[in-house]
């Protein structure tokens, strides 16, 4: 691939990630173009950019997701390359191809690699023969009930039915016994059809109490692929990550190497280029299984940056220019420990419902080992049209204990007024014995969090918490068929149906 210097970069995104990408571009001497919707006119990322172009109304379907508008802006402004951030068009192969056709570099992998990894069955198929461990299950899409029964009997219940077009936990259904299989399968197929326009489903053995460990990979166009170690993201609620850390508190150096090499093989199976994340489940017995590969820069990439000392956005841009990775695997080392918490405008005392409003007070924490990636300022209103994430708070320390202590200090220093946020919940996690010991899995929130737990942390919230506890009664779920939200989520969401 020919080398092509990027002089002007358009960021096809908004909020904190748009700002974060443009900061690296600026440091590289690359001029930046922002695109913004009606709702983002006054956003910091728009002011930061060298040029900014209005692209339409607030709903993303009329602005951030309109491929033709974005390609049009690129041509008008003679943009060399586009960074898609995460979400929006970041994993859309058609967007990458449309840019390619116009001679514009997409900062990311090939449309083909995105397509394969976007289809969970195609992804499993691709990695076969690359020595990547997979959860036992069906070879491809399930053909019907007979096959489902046969497979379930071989791998034993409980099993998990997953949508081929799903991902990130969407379209999954646990079946605990044969009696629930027919209904579970029918429902999974119809849900997959409705949600993704593709009714293909497959079956896997359900891994109980797994940890979510993902490996950051980075590949250049010269055949070099490295792993930048792992992130542990087991503190989630309803498949939304809340706390992430690097490195994992449980991996031995030998396990780290095995998972890292498996992740590199996943990347190689699709000739991956750029930054990517390979997601694994780690079971209680220490076995790990490939789940999916995310073909974008992830929200939680800063924890990897903190422990490796690398700037992942700069690496993405260099690789997109055709440069070789500036390191070999042997040269990469882990320095200390980093933790990220996501600060959402959501009310942990009210089932984490979005709490949209104006930031009457906004004062992020500072000091040694603290990084805040945000996209808002005091006085701004959080738009209802997008993800309600206000900021990512990241701390780094020489040890995990120091990173935790810094996170507690930073959360206590974070002043946000006007909206409820997930900060008290994150403070609860930091103080919890399971988290502190490192012995936690993806059921952490279900097993340990009740809104009442925040009472002690927030004495002045006492009345609200008492109100909430009055309606807190776990509903009995007798059916053999459960959505994973019911199995893995907090019991009180059942009451919302």
Q: Which helix (H) or strand (E) holds 37?
A: strand 31-37
Active site residue 296: yes
Q: Which residue has the tokens 């017995």?
A: 285
Least Cβ distance, residue 192 to ligand MV4 (angstroms): 14
274 by DSSP, 3-state: which? strand
Set 256, 296, 342, 427: catalytic member: 296
Q: Residue 91 to residues 85, 112, 203, 298, 459: CA-CA distances in angstroms?
A: 10, 11, 24, 11, 44
Q: Point out which residues bind ligand MV4 (CB under 6 A).
A: 135, 160, 168-169, 204-207, 210, 212, 236, 239, 279, 281, 291-292, 442, 484, 488
DSSP letters along 279-342, please? Answer: EEEE-TTS-EEEEEEE-S--TTHHHHHHHH---HHHHHHHHHTTPPPSS-GGG----SEEEEEE
- CA proximity to 322, closest of 357, 250, 274, 394: 274
Backbone angles phi, psi at 91, to 5 degrees: -120, 30
CA dist 218 and 223 (Å) reads 11
Report the distance separating Cα 448 and Cα 467, nearest Å.
Answer: 20
CB of 134 to ligand MV4, least distance (A): 10
Q: How far is the CB of 123 from ligand MV4 (least distance, A)?
A: 11
Local structure of 462: helix, strand or coil: helix
Nearer to ligand MV4, 362 or 444 (CB): 444
- Output 232 or 373, the one with its CB closest to ligand MV4: 232
DSSP string, 131-164: T----SB-SSS---HHHHHHHHHHH-SSEEEEEE
Q: Which is nearer to ligand MV4, 45 or 280 (CB)?
A: 280
**Cβ proximity to ligand MV4, 116 vs 319, nearer residue:** 116
User: Residue 399: is it exposed, middle or buried by C-beta count within 10 angstroms (0-12/13-18/19+)?
Assistant: exposed
**Minimal distance, residue 115 CB to ligand MV4, in Å:** 18
315-340 in b/e form (b: 16+ CB < 10 A) is bbbbbbbbeebeeeeeebebebbbbb
Handedness of CA 9, 12, 15, 16 (dihedral sign): negative
Select 245 or 488, whichever has its Cβ closest to ligand MV4: 488
The residues, any chain, with a CB within 8 Å of residue 114's CB and separated by 6 or more, are: 91, 92, 93, 96, 108, 295
Q: How far is the CB of 277 from ligand MV4 (least distance, A)?
A: 11
Q: Cβ of residue 284: shortest distance to ligand MV4, in angstroms?
A: 12
Min dist CB 150 to ligand MV4, Å, is: 18
Name which of 209 and 357 has its Cβ closer to ligand MV4: 209
To which residue do tokens 């029918």 refer?
Answer: 186
Nearer to ligand MV4, 203 or 310 (CB): 203
The set of catalytic residues is: 296
């Amino acid at each position: 691939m020919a080398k092509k210097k990027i002089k002007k970069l358009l960021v096809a995104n908004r909020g904190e990630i748009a700002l974060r990408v443009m900061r690296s571009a600026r440091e590289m001497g690359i001029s930046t173009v922002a695109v913004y919707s009606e709702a983002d006119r006054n956003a910091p990322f728009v002011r930061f950019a060298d040029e900014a172009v209005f692209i339409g109304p607030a709903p993303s379907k009329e602005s951030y997701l309109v491929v033709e508008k974005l390609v049009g802006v690129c041509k008008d402004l003679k943009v060399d390359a586009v960074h898609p951030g995460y979400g929006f068009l970041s994993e859309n192969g058609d967007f990458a191809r449309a840019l390619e056709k116009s001679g514009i570099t997409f900062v990311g992998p090939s449309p083909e690699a995105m397509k394969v990894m976007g289809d969970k069955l195609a992804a499993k198929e691709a990695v076969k023969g690359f020595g990547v461990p997979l959860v036992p299950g069906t070879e491809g899409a399930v053909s019907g009930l007979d096959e489902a029964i046969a497979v379930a009997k071989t791998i034993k219940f409980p099993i998990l039915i997953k949508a081929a077009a799903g991902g990130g936990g969407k379209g999954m259904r646990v079946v605990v016994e044969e009696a629930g299989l027919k209904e579970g399968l029918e429902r999974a197929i119809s849900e997959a059809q409705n949600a993704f326009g593709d009714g293909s489903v497959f079956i896997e053995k359900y891994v109980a109490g797994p940890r979510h460990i993902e490996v950051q990979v980075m590949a250049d166009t010269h055949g070099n692929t490295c792993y930048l170690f792992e992130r542990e993201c087991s503190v989630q609620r309803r498949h939304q990550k809340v706390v992430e850390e690097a490195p994992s508190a449980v991996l031995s150096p030998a396990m780290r190497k095995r998972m890292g090499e498996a992740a590199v093989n996943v990347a190689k199976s699709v000739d991956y280029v750029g930054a990517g994340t390979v997601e694994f489940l780690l079971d209680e017995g220490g076995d790990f299984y490939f789940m999916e590969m995310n073909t974008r820069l992830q929200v939680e990439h800063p924890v990897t940056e903190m422990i490796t000392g690398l700037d992942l956005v700069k690496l993405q841009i260099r690789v997109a220019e055709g440069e070789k990775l500036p390191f070999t695997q042997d040269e990469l080392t882990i320095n200390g420990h980093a933790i990220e918490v996501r600060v959402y405008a959501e009310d942990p005392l009210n089932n984490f419902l979005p709490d949209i409003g104006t930031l009457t007070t906004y004062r992020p924490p500072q000091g040694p080992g603290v990084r805040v990636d945000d996209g808002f300022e005091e006085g701004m209103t959080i738009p209802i049209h997008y993800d309600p994430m206000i900021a990512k708070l990241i701390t780094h320390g020489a040890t995990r204990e120091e990173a935790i202590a810094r996170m507690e200090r930073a959360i206590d220093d974070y002043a946000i007024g006007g909206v409820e946020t997930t900060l008290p919940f994150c403070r609860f996690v930091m103080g919890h014995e399971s988290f502190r010991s490192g012995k936690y899995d993806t059921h952490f929130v279900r097993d340990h969090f009740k809104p009442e737990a925040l009472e002690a942390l927030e004495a002045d919230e006492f009345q609200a918490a008492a109100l909430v506890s009055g309606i807190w009664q776990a509903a009995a779920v007798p059916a053999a068929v459960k959505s994973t939200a019911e199995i893995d989520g907090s019991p009180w969401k059942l009451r919302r149906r």
